[in-house]
Amino acid sequence: METRHIMPRSWRLGCVCLWLACGWLAVAEDNADVKDYQVKAIYLYNFTEFTVWPASAFASSNAPIVIGIVGEDPFGKTLDVVINGETAHGHPLVVKRLRADEDLRSCQVLFIASSEKKRISGLLQKLKGSPVLTVSDTTDFAKQGGMVTFLLIQKTVKFEINQAAAEAAGLQISAKLLKLAYTAKSN
């Protein structure tokens, strides 16, 4: 019965799950960092599900949700695998790797890698007022005005959300997400 239930409606989700399971099992003895980024990749995808962008953020109704990565990509292929073929709110998901000097406003989700730690304030400054969900795993990201910050608490990936910053950008973050998140505020 259980197997019947778990039988995926879409084989993709089944693959994701399978991959997750395999990943978690593999990561058990693997590098903890790799494992964390696998989780963070899934979380990035999940964030799209629990965030609502204003209509102005998209060129058209079927325009993709672009997940941009600035700096050194810590996910490798993982993120691409995670979002491959997935949709959120009817929008397909696309991953773009960007440089800091590129126009970051074309993204809906922007992961600022720890490599860009020093340029974060500038980047955030640039993005101010744009409906872009900024995500990073650097410390004090939220204090600088970042929206979502990955945390590692007791070897488990958690996150904190600066709701005020998100709202200022015109984003609406689901209460369900907020409920799981730690609360953070800008300085």
Catalog residues that contact other proteins under the rule CB under 8 A. Answer: 1-6, 8-10, 13, 17, 21, 39, 43, 46, 49-50, 87-89, 174, 176-177, 179-180
Cβ distance 161 to 181 under 8 Å? yes
Residue 177 beta carbon to other proteins: minimum distance, rounded to whole angstroms:
5
Residue 87 beta carbon to other proteins: minimum distance, rounded to whole angstroms:
7
The residue (of 9 and 118) whose beta carbon lies closer to other proteins is: 9
Residue 180 beta carbon to other proteins: minimum distance, rounded to whole angstroms:
5
Torsion of CA 8, 34, 114, 171, to 10 degrees: 10
Neighbours of 16 (CB within 10 A): 21
The residue (of 47 and 124) whose beta carbon lies closer to other proteins is: 47
The residue (of 144 and 163) whose beta carbon lies closer to other proteins is: 163
The residue (of 10 and 125) whose beta carbon lies closer to other proteins is: 10
Cβ distance 38 to 21 under 8 Å? no
The alpha-carbon radius of gyration of the chain (Å, integer) is 16
Helices of type H across the chain: 2-6, 11-27, 32-49, 78-83, 120-127, 163-168, 175-180
Residue 28 beta carbon to other proteins: minimum distance, rounded to whole angstroms:
15
